[in-house]
Amino acid sequence: MNVTDAPRAVLERAFRAALAATDPGTLTAAHLPGRAPTGILAFGKAAPAMLRAALQAFPGVPALLVPPHGLPASDVRATVIPAGHPVPDDGSLQAGRAALALAGAQGADGHLLVLGSGGGSALLSSPWGVTPAQKQDLTRALLASGADIADINTVRKHLSRVKGGRLAAATSARVTALLLSDVIGDDPATIASGPTVPDPGTFADALAVLDRFGIPAPEARAHLRAGVHGEVPDTPKPGTFGDRVQAAVIGSGRHLLTALRDALTREGVDATVGAHDLHGEVTAVARDLAALVLREPARARPHVLLSGGEPTVTLGPHPGEGGRNHELALALALALDGRQRGVHALMAGSDGMDGTTGAAGAFVTPDTLARARAQGLDPALFLARHDSGTLFAALHDQLVTGPTGTNLNDVHALWLPTGP
């Protein structure tokens, strides 16, 4: 690197390099079983790359691929069912039926290889106790409520025939699941709602989520109450499958942050990896990150503080264009307004799609707020309206990568100013 390069350019190059270093196909190839499975199911935002690696090792094995709409997969020799995300659609219903059929077709001497990644909760859908339309409405309400992914998936598992270990329960074969984590804590039971993983949650837990976030959903509540009273069987619990079912997390946000640190080091920039599990409301996380920046001593060399996680956003009735990374970037700029000069930042989702924006995230520069105000734009108003995407688009400060074919959670990179 030329250390005089603009911090924005360095951050973007390092982010793209970190994505390449955590390629889903490479991660999958390193963890494949020694013998060919009898069937392969791949679903999620990283599914095409994961399945390509598996089929290169095991050509000719029957495979089902469930990617989000728009993710290239025409070259993969498999049954391909594109599906909806973040809200399930007809493709998701078709994929849910096909996944259960594939699992059920594997006999006791069979071996089902499952390749799962973020987005799978919406992509594989088999509603139970609610209609598909009711499940869509409930999904939208949960996503807008400020609930974190663990809470959202607790509800999803108890309204599904495929989630919460029910896919593994649909087969007598051995099951090996290789998972890329997009969730805080990297719990296999939470990743894509854990279709092959025993579920420690209960119907009562799911009801409590709806109560906590004030979501009416009368049909869902009726089904969940029936479960509480023992009228509906619960999800498979820990210990149910014994050694027949195995799940391993082969890539996560930790891997991505380490790769990003290494990429910055190659650029000649010092970098420190901090918390990988930031959560809570975006504005609170932004205040914490601003406080961290203000506590940092001045350095003679460029230095970047790295973190990751999945902050939440509670949307109002008429949100604009935005996503949690755009909101975090704008909230950080406002939290630092007039308090620290020279800070740059990148807030980005590893899947390349932040909320409704069509961009991976956004850059903060020392003059972000000044440039916005010079255009007659009120940054605080855009944040309050959850319209941060519109603001950063007007400033030409979005990071646009397109769908990256992976999903290892979000990264936050804070470039600190140098000083004496």
Query: How would residue 418 be classed by pLDDT, with cut points 50, 70 and 90?
Result: confident
Residues of the chain above pLDDT 90, percent: 90
Q: What is the pLDDT of residue 3?
A: 47
The residue ranking higher by pLDDT, 71 or 25, is 25
372 has pLDDT over 50? yes
pLDDT at 116: 98
Question: pLDDT at position 420, please?
Answer: 62
CA distance 312 to 283: 9
**Span 165-193, average pLDDT:** 96
* pLDDT given for residue 32 in this prediction: 98
138, pLDDT greater than 70: yes
- Mean pLDDT over all residues of the chain? 95
DSSP reduced 3-state for 268: coil
In the predicted structure, residue 376 carries a pLDDT above the cut 60? yes
| Helix, strand, coil tally for the chain in percent (to 5) | 40, 15, 45
For 280-322, the pLDDT digits (tens) are 999 999 999 999 998 988 888 889 999 999 999 998 888 899 9
Average pLDDT, integer, range 180-186: 94
pLDDT at residue number 1: 42
Strand bridging mode 344-349 / 410-416: antiparallel
- What own/partner pairs with CB < 8 Å and gap ≥ 24 does 152-155 have? 152/121, 152/209, 153/121, 153/190, 153/193, 153/194, 154/201, 154/205, 154/206, 154/209, 155/206, 155/209, 155/210, 155/220
Average pLDDT in the 105-114 region?
Answer: 97
**Sheet strand arrangement including 245-251:** 79-80, 63-66, 39-43, 111-116, 174-180, 245-251
Give the predicted TM-score (pTM) of the model.
Answer: 0.93
Partners of 174 in beta bridges: 111
Q: In 10 A of CB 391, how many CB atoms? A: 28
Q: Each residue of 313-370: pLDDT tens digit?
A: 998 888 899 999 999 999 999 999 977 778 999 999 999 999 999 999 999 999 999 9
pLDDT number for residue 142: 95
Amino acid present at 48: P
Q: Which domains are present in the chain? A: 7-17+253-416 (3.40.1480.10), 23-251 (3.40.50.10180)
Q: What is the mean pLDDT of residues 122-143?
A: 96
The pLDDT of 97-104, averaged and rounded, is: 98
Task: Give the Cα separation of 181 and 251 in Å (integer).
Answer: 6
The side-by-side arrangement of strands in the sheet containing 361-364 is 270-273, 303-309, 410-416, 344-349, 361-364, 398-399
Residues 213-244: tens digit of each pLDDT: 999 999 999 999 999 999 999 999 999 999 99
Of residues 299 and 412, the one with the higher pLDDT is 412
- Per-residue pLDDT, 2: 46
Using only C-alpha atoms, the chain has a radius of gyration, in whole angstroms, of 22
Position with higher pLDDT, 381 vs 340: 381
Tell me the average pLDDT across 374-386: 97
